[in-house]
Structure 1
Amino acid sequence: MYDLLLLPDFTHLQFFLTCLVAFGGGLIRGYTGFAGALLLLPGFVLIMGPLPALNVVIISGMVGQLIILPNAIKRAQKNVVLSYGGGIFLGVYLGLYFLFQRDVPDITFFMGIFIILATLILVSGWKYKGPINNYTSGSFGTGIGFFAGFFGVPTGPLTGLFFLSLKEDIKIIQANIQCIVILTVFAFFTYFYFIEGFRSDYLLLGLIMSIPLAIGLKTGQYLFTFLPEQVFRPITYICLISLGASLCFNAYK
C-alpha cells in the first residue's frame, strides 16, 4: 500500500520539466482535441525512459481527460464512437503485445518514428474521404489502435483526421475525437493493469501530472475560441518533429 505513495527519484529540475511537458501536452490536446500525447510521450521519454513514460502518460492522460469527458459524451455520435472504440481496444491490445517483444532502445526509436510520421500526416492535411458507418469505423479504429499500441503512442492524430471527414458541426466532431482519445488511453490502461502491471512510483507521478495536464486542457480549449490555427499549428508541428527526432537520435545511446 505504501509503495503507491512513492515518487520516482527525480531532481527538482526533472519534476519541473515533467510538469511543463504535462501542461504542454494538455494545451495541445485541449486545442486540437487529439494530438496531446504526441508531445507528452516524447517529452516524458527524454526525462524518464519509454516504459515509465508510458505509465505516466496513461494515468495522467486518463485522469486529465475526465474533466472534458461529460460534455464530449453529450455531443458525441454514440454509434460511430462505440464502433470505432471497439476497434481501438482490439487494435491496441494486439499492438501492445508486439511492442513488449522489443528491447527498450527499439521501443524508444519506433516511438520517435511514429511521432514524426504522424506529424507529417497532420501537416499534409490528409483526410479520410470514404464512407463512415459501423464497419468502416470499427475497421479504421482497429488499424489505428494497432499502430498506437505497436509504436507505444496512446494518441489519435489519425483518429482526428478520420472524424474530421464527417460533415458535422465542429463541436460534434471534436466531441467524437475526445471520446475516442479517452477510450484509447483507457485501452492502454487496462492492458497495463491486467497484463503488464504498473510501476507504483510512476503511477503516483501520473496522478500528479494529471493536474498540469488538466490545466493545459482547459487553457487549450480557451485558446481554441480565439487563437487562429495558422499561429498555433506550425509551432506545434515544429515541436513534435523535433521531439520525435530527439527520440530517434537518443534511442541507442
Structure 2
Amino acid sequence: MRNSPGPLLRRATVGVLAPGVFCARARAAAPPAPEAPRLPFAERYHALQHGGIVRAAGTAVSTRSYVDVDSNPDTYSSSRAKVRPPDGARVTYARLYWGGNPTLWDGFGTLDARFGQEARPRGVRVPKGASGRAALVSHGGDRGRRADSLTVSTGRGPNTVLTDAANPRDGVLNSTISAPRTPPSRREPSCSNTLGYGSDVFDLGTALRRGGDQPAFRLVSQRDAAWAGVLFRAVDATE
C-alpha cells in the first residue's frame, strides 16, 4: 500500500516469499510446467515504500464437509473473504493463492522433522527499534499437536519465537486465521478451526529491537507433516 493514513509503517520494506521462481510476466502459449513435490522459497515482490500489507483468508473445509457457499452446483470448495485496505490506500501489488483440494498441496515446501523452511531477504538493513509484521500461510497443521515454530532473527542476538494469543510458541501450525489489533476480515464461513489451513499475521514486537543486516525467518515442524505456502513481512527498514 502507498500513502495510506492508517496505523501502518513509516517506511517499510515489503516482501512476499513463496515456493517457486520469480516470474515478472507470463510467457504467451507456454506449456504447463510439470508438477513437483516441493519448490524452494523465492522472493516474489520487494519494495521500499510507505505502507504495509493487508490480506484476507478463507477455508475450504468445515467440520462436516467441503465448504461451498456459491450457487453453482458444479463447483466445490468455495468460500468468501473480503480484503479491507485502509481508506485512501493504493494497491501496488496483489496475489491470489488458492488451495482447493486438501489432498493435493503440490508446489509447496514440505515441513517435517528433517525439513524446515528458511527465508533470508537480501539487501535489507533493519534499524534498531524497528517495528513490523510478518505472516505465514501453511497447510496440514493439526491443532493441539505441538513442536512447530516460526522464529525471526536479525543477525544480532538469539532468535525470537513468534507467538500470540492465537498461536502458541510451540504450536504455530494450529489451523487458525488471525491478525493482531485489526478487525477480522469478513469471511464465510467464519470457522475458528480451519482443519489444517493456517493464515496468521504476527506483530514482530521486540524481535527487531537490536536491528541488524541479516533478517531471517525460519519455520520448523517436528511432529506435523505440514506444508509451508507463503511468507510475507513488512518492517521499518533502510536500503
TM-score above 0.5: no
> As a proportion of its length, which structure holds more strand?
2
Interval containing the TM-score (normalised by the shorter chain) = under 0.3
Q: State TM-score, norm by structure 2.
A: 0.26
Q: State TM-score, norm by structure 1.
A: 0.25
Larger Rg belongs to: 2
> As a proportion of its length, which structure holds more helix?
1
